[in-house]
A and B are shown apart, each in its own frame.
Chain A
């Protein structure tokens, strides 16, 4: 069943069409790989889904809710979380705080409650902290909770972004090159984590350049080239698809 649905989505920046008439969907519990050469419009597509950029044409919906036109925070509240290709953790806040902030849209303490602090506020904070600690353990950062995020290594910051995104309790998570800059060992660990994210009942859409990794992981692949969708289907089929091979995979040297 389709959860995240894109129909005829286009994005123009002035005269440049970055994304052109792209349609596809992500089902419940599915892992969909999004691949394509640099500049193909993959990250732009993520920006459109998460509300960072406004869609020029077309419709994006999550279940019965229409996403285009909404602010990023509203998209997040409906259940779409993401990580960034260029890391955007909150650098001078603790690792724990980073994840706690992810829980913001699922908690309720307002200004008055924060000042007066009735008992339920303390309980809510405790629940948030427990949830955040559990997520930090999930991504393997449990022992770094009190460090400032900027003091984490590059790979750890990527893991923190995933924990923070999961804290928003998403239905779909968009991972933008989560393995970029990681060693092959860390990258393998990260990919096994993607499988475990699905087991938590979260659908995954992932941009990844390592073909071996993305082929092994994805249920389906969507391939973009110059802003257009040139392929959608099983990973094995992509390897045999002439357009995909020509634009992205390349032919064997002869």
Chain B
């Protein structure tokens, strides 16, 4: 991508991301409302979570339904490390990403010999197991009673300047914004790299990929591990932001929320996933009285998108722009002639 893309487009892309970042930084003052700021904090966490799912589903073409469970692994791991061992949040965050990655790797090792629907069912099974562990290992997780009083992230002391504390919404917002920006950057780097190429080749044709020298099992496992690490980071941020977690938040159904974000955004498209994640975080809150029907709406939406917009919003935008480009016109002419 990076190399073959015309310079003009990569400049435009850079400018668009910079503008988005500027808006995001100014957002607390634009909104001037703690309520809406809180929604954007959740949107950031959802973006990280969905970008993780996008690596497995969008890049590599594997349907993994254990994602919400891994999100929970990150959340419980981080909360318990801080509460039980007194570890700093700043160490618990990478530790819970690593632990979620480990669990993701185990799930991958056990289930990646399966393909298609069978893989989806196996990963859903692991999602259910994880949920049951949260629910029933009461001495550790307090089960359905919920794990509360999770401390906020430890202050960062900068010698000579003072301490950066995370006891306000706005400070949490900037923490999540920073992590989201890193998640987007890393995701983009992976997508445009040799590793990303390997992921995409598996999505397109696994047999051909393997014959062309791609060690497909290793890359599928890597996709699972990376995706789980993203879920772990999102889980840790979520636990220390909401400061109370319960098994219900990591139920199999919650994977559907991330699925909706990735699929309507456009499989593999980072911009699409970011936009869809923000939209699907804000919308249910704005229409809160309809929240009970959320899963019905998501189900219907998935069906409609799969039928009419298989490449999601990103595909729609691309199609619109594609028509105007030289290559697009040449192709249409070629197709007309054929």
- Which residue numbers of A lie inside 8 Å of B, CB to CB? 50-52, 71-73, 76-77, 81-82, 84, 88-94, 96-97, 100-102, 104-105, 107, 109-111, 114-115, 117, 121, 124-126, 129, 145-147, 151, 153, 164-165, 168
Contact = CB atoms under 8 A, between A and B. Distances in A.
Nearest to B335: A151
A153 B213 contact: no
Band of interface residues on B: 20 to 34
Interface in B160-206: 186, 189-190, 193-198, 200-201, 204-205
A109 B193 contact: yes
Contacts of A121: 193
A129 B205 contact: no
Given A81-B212, A102-B212, A102-B213, 5 more contacts: A104-B194, A111-B222, A114-B193, A125-B3, A168-B213
Contact of B197 (A100, A111, A165, A168): A100
B269 to A, nearest CB: 12
B216 interface: yes
B4 A96 contact: yes
Contact of A73 (B194, B215, B334, B335): B215
Contact of B200 (A84, A90, A110): A90
What 3 A-B pairs have minimum CB-CB distances, sorted nearest first? Answer: A105-B213, A114-B193, A90-B204
B200 A147 contact: no
A79 to B, nearest CB: 10
B307 interface: no
A111 to B, nearest CB: 6
A111 B226 CA distance: 10
A52 B213 contact: no
Given A104-B194, A109-B194, A125-B2, A168 B212 contact: yes
B211 interface: yes
B201 to A, nearest CB: 5
A151 B200 CA distance: 18
B327 interface: yes
B121 interface: no
B24 interface: no
Contacts of B222: 111
Contact of A101 (B186, B207, B214): B214
A71 B210 CA distance: 8
Given A125-B2, A146-B327, A76 B213 contact: yes
5 contacts: A90-B208, A104-B212, A109-B193, A111-B190, A114-B189
B4 A94 contact: yes
A209 B207 CA distance: 25
Nearest to B201: A101
B136 interface: no
Contacts of A109: 193-195
A205 to B, nearest CB: 15
B33 interface: no
Contacts of B197: 97, 100-101, 104
Contact of A104 (B3, B198, B204): B198
B251 to A, nearest CB: 31
A81 B210 CA distance: 11
Contacts of B212: 73, 76, 81, 101-102, 104-105, 164-165, 168
A244 B189 CA distance: 56
Contacts of B201: 90, 93, 101, 104
B189 A104 contact: no
Given A100-B197, A109-B194, A52 B4 contact: no
A61 B194 CA distance: 29
B271 interface: no
Contacts of A77: 213
Contacts of B335: 151
Contact of B214 (A50, A73, A110, A115): A73
A114 B4 contact: no
A77 to B, nearest CB: 5
Interface string B23-65: 0000000000000000000000000000000000000000000
